[in-house]
Structure 1
């Protein structure tokens, strides 16, 4: 057996532990250094509503809509009314309305900064996948309604998108585990919140360099161990991980308080991330806004907002306790604060930020006997950003009558979610390699949701068409 000395053992153990703590960012040197496209400096934020959000309650047919009568026939306990108490918010110029708790989204829509895509989702083979786990996996691996995959579509985008070599922090997955859309990434870190992303428990002297007393902190020792002209891939990966940690360590992610935290983050434009429900969602959005303003090179972000599986007691706006309304409030107020914060001031960061809100599938048109809705098919995608052609509801709606429903029970899917995201990748991110990001997707045409230049859709490099990206 080959002997191993203490120095080599320490290097190996430390880099392995650090790599795990910093997610896949430590795999950077195992990916091919290819730059096939000219990436823009934009940031794409994917908000995943896990549990299958009921699009017919977020965006119900409005007054005068040809779908309203069928909607009311199928919805009683979960109905969003168009008049009286709890009335939906009309979207001017459209036949649609918004849940009354979505005032922030309506303001963005009326200002031309937000849009909706109806009858959108995964185009699935028959039978439709109605498992949350499988549908979410397929969605995030980018394979539509097919099964399989081990590399996320956002990872494929980052690999093929032509990122400059010196981008400090290209991708962040906000949460306790890495989103599947970023699995296999050599560029992503995972964190519940900015203040949680620390590796400062190694020893009391982790950051303490004291030359006067000949003390060297743990970070400096690890840098010295891994640095050098003949550093191995593992050692260079360790240096990359330490770089990510060093980048975030000095940032005060706490909220500004004049007396207790004067160096904390102060949102601009009066933005308020203190959500009444789902407070962690507001904190994560605030952390992302702070990172964008710090110009760390953030290109891709994933954020989850869960608890949309409303089989029982979904609620409606006329009730004193409206579960679905509370969820909508978190979504709308959080995104409104995010937009307000980043758009305030001369810089207007939202001109280079696009947010796409998705869910694995929709809910059944006919409510169930428990005052809820069961797993469905077609749904609503929400889009917002400074470069969004907002104030419009996109997509072809098939209708809600029995003969118009998929299998006579669900809103059908007429817009593949990959079409919406592909337009963002091309027009906003400058990456034409959408057929690599989404294997099996074909026939892309833009819908006009995003502003930007069109590029011929491509499939990256034939060597990597099987999904292997070297990681």
Structure 2
């Protein structure tokens, strides 16, 4: 369960508060200055819309009504390299690409080849090669390899701790308030009451400290021009960035964004998907701003459980697919390029005749980030984090 000061104080019994707080909230000086943020897009992002391969000669034919305008027309998608572009809603990220701080990855997937959200997300978060192949998350295992001196380096920002962060290594969590705010006078009285309690006293102090970080990060937020979901994503990103930027804060965070299962009325330059992408771009922008100078030591990975079908369905949307797109961003990314072993959109090159064929294992990308950015030993990553992962490794994703 996610924890905040307000949630701690909302219960009527000390036992309830203790169960909420249990082992989730010790944040202290971290050993590393490197930051890593994993953003999970739940539902299956249409990578052919987010990062359109407009230079593929089959793109417009096979995408039909979902094809975006060629950038040569001065409207529609933003050109990246003469072959790939970015959806217009991701326009705020184009300067990041130009400055080497955005690296799209295409035709990427986990080992999963079926079409279930539940199983697809299981593999995305456990790093296993089959559903149910592991009970803990690969990022939790990775955090366990970092020398935190007994301190908690991981942070879940959202209503629950996602599977990717669950495991033997304790992590912190924060979620927006559900219950009414407690005033400072009540907090002071509660702290006085439990000052000699060896268990609840320190936990209460930690909860107040973490919630203060979150409130500081949210101070002055203006949500008037955003939709509800976009505003929520921006708030979570702002909190994560503020906590990661703190000298005594965590170093690794996970955020989740739902709403990517676009079976109907997906839209092109506008519509359902465009609104979600606008929220994503806004959230990433807020994250960067909240991190401040720490952005230079940060990598953000935006991933999804699978891609979507290449051709639109009969309701103007797309169905569950295979090959997907991911985004890497941050001051430590070797961006300004698109990483892709492009399989092509010719009918004979599609997976099962309907999907973008995956040519890159997402675990190879994460392995490279863990090794080159967080500087984890290669043998430990292969043995502990991704024991079922591919033998091939990637290089050149992290700036020198």
TM-score by length of 2: 0.86
More helix by share: 2
In structure 1, C-alpha distance between the alignment counterparts of 2:238 and 2:262, rounded to whole Å: 27
- Matches for 1:50-449 after TM superposition, within 5 Å: 50-62=42-54, 65=55, 67=56, 69-83=57-71, 84=73, 86-91=75-80, 93-124=81-112, 128-165=113-150, 167=151, 170-184=153-167, 186-193=169-176, 196=177, 206-208=186-188, 217-226=189-198, 235=199, 238=200, 241-251=203-213, 253=215, 265=219, 276-277=226-227, 278-317=230-269, 321-343=270-292, 348-432=293-377, 433-435=380-382, 436-449=384-397
Other-structure match for 1:231: none
Partner of 1:25: 24
Counterpart CA distance in 2 for 1:45 and 1:198 is: 28
- Aligned counterparts of 2:391 and 2:209: Cα–Cα separation in 1: 41
Distance 1:200 1:23 in 2: 21
Unaligned runs of 5+ in 2: 1-12
| Gap change, CA 1:26 and 1:387, over 3 Å in 2 | closer
Give the match's secondary structure for 1:375: coil
Report if the CA contact (8 A) 1:116-1:382 is conserved: yes
1:3-22 pair list within 5 angstroms? 14=14, 17-22=16-21
CA distance, structure 2, for counterparts of residue 79 and residue 72 of structure 1: 5
* Bigger Cα displacement from structure 2, 238-247 vs 405-414: 238-247
Partner in structure 2 of residue 459 of structure 1: none
Could you say if the C-alpha distance between residues 27 and 164 of structure 1 is closer, same or farther in structure 2, counting changes exceeding 3 Å?
closer
Q: Summarize the Cα distance change of 1:204–1:385 in structure 2 as closer, same or farther, 3 Å threshold.
A: closer
**Is the Cα contact below 8 Å between 1:361 and 1:379 reproduced in 2?**
yes
Question: C-alpha displacement at 1:439, in angstroms?
Answer: 3.0
Alpha-carbon offset, residue 141 of structure 1:
1.4
1:441–1:19 Cα change, 3 Å: farther
- Cα 1:274–1:205, aligned 2, differ >3 Å: closer, same or farther? closer
SS in 1 for 2:24: helix
Q: Deviations over 1:360-417 (max 9, x none)?
A: 0000111111110000001111000101101010121111112211112111121111
1:88-146: per-residue Cα shift (whole Å, max 9, x none)?
1111x34101111111111111111010111111023xxx2211111112211121444
Given the superposition, is the C-alpha separation of residues 274 and 339 from structure 1 closer, same or farther in structure 2, using an over 3 Å criterion?
A: farther
Secondary structure in structure 1 of the residue aligned to 2:105: strand
1:82–1:88 CA contact under 8 A, matched in 2: yes
Q: 1:197 & 1:190 partners in 2: Cα distance?
A: 15
CA offset at residue 313 of structure 1? 0.5
Please identify the structure whose Cα radius of gyration is greater: 1
SS in 1 for 2:39: strand
Give 1:225 deviation, angstroms.
2.6
Say if 1:291 and 1:26 are closer, same or farther in 2 by CA, change over 3 A.
closer
8 Å Cα contact 1:80/1:86 also seen in 2 = no
Q: 2:201 & 2:129 partners in 1: Cα distance?
A: 37
Asked if the contact 1:25/1:241 (under 8 Å) is kept, the reply is no
Alpha-carbon distance, 1:333 to partner:
2.4
SS of the residue corresponding to residue 370 of structure 1 reads: coil
Deviation at 1:266, TM superposition (A): 6.0
Over aligned residues, Cα RMSD in angstroms? 2.8
Q: Give the 3 Å change call, closer, same or farther, for CA 151–18 of structure 1 in structure 2.
A: farther
The Cα offsets for residues 171-205 of structure 1, whole Å up to 9 and x where unpaired, read as 22111111111113543223223xx399986x997
Change (3 A) 1:46 1:82: same
1:219-269 CA-partner distances (Å, limit 9, x unpaired): 34434132xxxxxxxx4xx566335314224446167xxxxxxxx7468xx
Cα separation, 2, equivalents of 1:179 and 1:411: 27
Deviation readout 1:259-298 (Å, 9 max, x if unpaired): xxxxx7468xxxx877623210001111122212322231
Q: CA deviation at 1:307?
A: 0.5
* Matched residue count: 380
Other structure's SS at 2:66 match: coil
